[in-house]
Amino acid sequence: MFKLSEIKELIELVDQTSVQELEIENEGTRLSIKKPSAPEVVQLQAPPQAYIPAPQVLPQAVQPNAAASQPAQTAEAPAPSGAASSLHQIVSPMVGTFYRSPSPEAAPFVSVGDKVDEKTTVCIIEAMKLMNELDADVKGEIVEVLAQNGQLVEFGQPLFLVRPE
């Protein structure tokens, strides 16, 4: 049996997220929450672009050495995106609230620069008053923490970037 406070909390959680439908069964009682159909708005965000300084134009004639250095600059441009694609993303397995530590006064599970393995707990996702520990699922080094403590996260949202070993 669901308590009224639990149902209200679930409705608020569904309302605050992109989840359109939620069905839960507990002790023979089934609860279904559906958002009304609305036109879907999709926002696309371009990936960050690497900063490449514009070539300097000199009033003198172009020298052969200057022309030879031009291809080297353009060849370096793809390197940052290639390096970023080699990083492993640890993503949220559910909708919930992201916590970096087991309690407000405790140190974070992991920080940038920490070494992790497949069984290292990196955070907690709270969903419906249940605390779900999330493991790294890869061996490597934490490069970036993408979510803020206490932030509501979506299913599949990247939370950490890890440089695999």
Residue 113 and residue 104 in contact, taking contact as beta carbons nearer than 8 Å:
no
Backbone dihedral region for residue 20 (phi beyond 0: left; psi -120 to 50: alpha; all else: beta) = alpha
Phi, psi of 14 (to 5 degrees): -65, -40
Reference 31, options 52, 49, 6; nearest CA is: 6
Reference 96, options 9, 5, 8; nearest CA is: 9
Fold of 86-164: OB fold (Dihydrolipoamide Acetyltransferase, E2P) (2.40.50)
* Kind of pairing between the strands at 158-164 and 140-145: antiparallel
Q: What is the pLDDT along the chain (165 residues), one digit of tens a residue?
A: 677 788 788 888 877 887 778 788 877 778 877 777 655 555 655 566 555 565 555 555 544 554 444 444 433 333 344 555 789 999 999 999 999 999 989 999 999 999 999 999 999 999 998 999 999 999 999 999 999 999 999 999 999 999 998
Which residue ranges make up each domain of the chain?
A: 4-34, 86-164
Query: What is the tens place of the pLDDT at every residue in 111-128?
Result: 999 999 999 999 999 999
